[in-house]
Amino acid sequence: MKSTIQVEVSNHLKVLLSKAMVLSVKEKAKHKISSDESYGVERK
Using left for φ > 0, alpha for ψ between -120 and 50, and beta otherwise, residue 9 falls in alpha
Segment 5-44, tens digit of pLDDT: 888 999 999 999 998 888 888 888 887 777 766 555 555 5
Q: Mention every residue, 6+ apart, whose C-beta is less than 8 A from residue 36.
A: 43
Query: Can you give the pTM of this predicted structure?
Result: 0.49
| Three-class DSSP labels, 9-44 | HHHHHHHHHHHHHHHHHHHHHHHHHHHHHHCCCCCC
Domain boundaries, the chain: 1-44
CB 22 within 8 A of CB 14: no
